[in-house]
Amino acid sequence: MRIFVGARIFDGLAFRDDCALVTQGATIRALVPYADRPMGETVDLGGGLLTPGFVDWQVNGGGGFLVNAAPTRETLRAIVDAHRRFGTTALAPTVITDAPEVLEATLQAAREPMDGSLGLHVEGPFIDPRRKGAHPLNHIRAMSEADARRLIDARVCVVTLAPASVSLELMARLAAHGVVVSLGHSEATAEEARACFDAGARSVTHLFNAMSPLGHRAPGVVGAALADPRVYAGFIADGIHAHETAGRLAFRLKGPERLTLVSDAMPPAAGGPDSYELNGRKVTRRGLSLTLDDGTLAGAVITLHDAIRYAVQKLGASLEDALRMATSTPARLLRVGDRHGVLRPGARADLVHLGADLSLRGVWFGGEAVQ
C-alpha cells in the first residue's frame, strides 16, 4: 500500500484539498482526508498537483514510431510507452487510411489487450475524398457489410468515418456494438451530420480540421457538432490546427463536459525525430507544424501534457477544466470512466504529478513509477 501526500489532488472532476491518495498495487483504494490517512509507504510529493493519467483517443505515433509504417504489436507498444513518459497513461493507437493489408495487420496487432491501450482508433479509409487531408486518395473507399463486421469482431475502440462512405445503417450497427463512431474527414451538411448523430455517432474527430466549416447559411459538420449537446469533439490544442479564437468558441459552446483534448500525435511527438514518411511521402517538422511538401498538415507534434498547458494559456480554460478535458471527459466518451481518467476507489492507479507551473514531475502507471 502507498499513500501519496503533499500535493493538491485533482480527482478527474474537481480539486480535493488536504487529502491523501491511497493505492494498493495497481488500483486506487481510497481518497481520504490527510488526517485520516492509513499507515503505509508514504510518497511525499512536495507540492504541485496530483492528477489522473491523461487519456488520448487519437495517437498516430510518437517516439519515432508510426502505426501505419509498421503495424505490429511492437510498434503499438513503443507508441504507448513513449506517450506514457509524458503523462498519457491510456490511449487509442490510431491507424489512418492505407492499403487494406495495413489495416488488417493493425487489427491483428491490436487484437490482444495491452496495458495502456484502450483499443484501436481506425481513422479512414471510410471517409470523404473531398476532405481527405493527408490521407491517400487511392485508398479511400466505402464501408461494406463485411468491413463493419470485421471492425466489430476486432473490438475496435473508435472509427472515424464520413456519411459519404458509410450508410446510417452501418453507423448504427457499429454504435450498437460499442464502437465509438466519430465523424471526420467529411463534407457533410449540418443536416447529414445530425442524422449521423441520431444514428449513434457520438463525436467528431479533430474539430474544425478536414470537415465542412461553420457558415451562417451552411453550418456544416462544425456547426452541427457545436450545436448538439450530445456530441463530443476532439480538439488538437496546438495553435496550428485551429486558431485560438476557434478554440475559445469550441470551449465556450461544448464546455469541459464535451470538448476533449487530443494530440493527433505523429512520430516526432514524445521525443521522436523531426521528419518521417507517411504513405511514401516525406513529412517535416517546422516548429509545431508537421507538413507534407505541398503544405498539407499531417498530424501534430504535441502530447496531452502540451495540450493542457495550451488550454489554460490560450483557451481561457481553468486548470480544473483543462484537466477534465484530458482525463475524465475522454474516458467517459470511450466508456472507460470507471477505470481511467479518475481518482476513485477501484480505478487504475495511473497518476501524474505536475508542478505549480504545470511542468511534469512524475508519472505512475498501475501504481509504479515510470522511468
pLDDT at 141: 98
**Which CATH number does the domain 2-51+342-369 belong to among 2.30.40.10, 3.40.30.10, 3.40.50.1370, 3.40.190.10?**
2.30.40.10
Three-class SS of the chain: CEEEECCEEECCCCEECCEEEEEECCEEEEEEEHHHCCCCEEEECCCCEEEECEEEEEECEECCEECCCCCCHHHHHHHHHHHHCCCEEEEEEEEECCCHHHHHHHHHHCCCCCCCECCCEEECCCCCHHHCCCCCHHHCCCCCHHHHHHHHHCCCCEEEECCCCCCHHHHHHHHHCCCEEEECCECCCHHHHHHHHHHCCCEECCCCCCECCCCCCCCHHHHHHHHCCCCEEEEECCCCCCCHHHHHHHHHHHHHHHEEEECCECCCCCCCCCEEEECCEEEEEECCEEECCCCCECCECCCHHHHHHHHHHHCCCCHHHHHHCCCHHHHHHCCCCCCCCCCCCCCECCEEEECCCCCEEEEEECCEECC
Q: What is the pLDDT of residues 206-254, one digit of tens each?
A: 999 999 999 999 999 999 999 999 999 999 999 999 999 999 999 999 9
Tell me: pLDDT of 279 over 90: no
What's the mean pLDDT when you consider all of the chain? 97
3: region left, alpha or beta (phi > 0 left; psi from -120 to 50 alpha): beta
Rounded to 10 degrees, the C-alpha dihedral 304/32/357/360 comes to: -50
- In the residue annotation, 238 being an active-site residue is answered as no
User: pLDDT at position 371, please?
Assistant: 87
Residue 80 grid coordinates: 504507448
pLDDT reported for residue 254: 98
Q: Give mean pLDDT, residues 23-42.
A: 96
Confidence tier at 298 by pLDDT (50, 70, 90)? very high
124-161 tens-digit pLDDT = 999 999 999 999 999 999 999 999 999 999 999 999 99
Task: Give domain limits for the chain.
Answer: 2-51+342-369, 54-333
pLDDT band at 21 (very low <50, low <70, confident <90, very high): very high
From 19-28, 48-57, 126-135, 276-285, the region with the lowest mean pLDDT: 276-285
Catalytic residue among 147, 264, 321, 350: 264
Contact 94, 125 (CB under 8 A): no
Give domain 54-333's CATH number out of 3.20.20.140, 3.30.70.100, 3.30.360.10, 3.60.10.10.
Answer: 3.20.20.140
Q: Which of 294, 301, 309 minimizes the C-alpha distance to 276?
A: 301
0.95 surpassed by pTM: yes
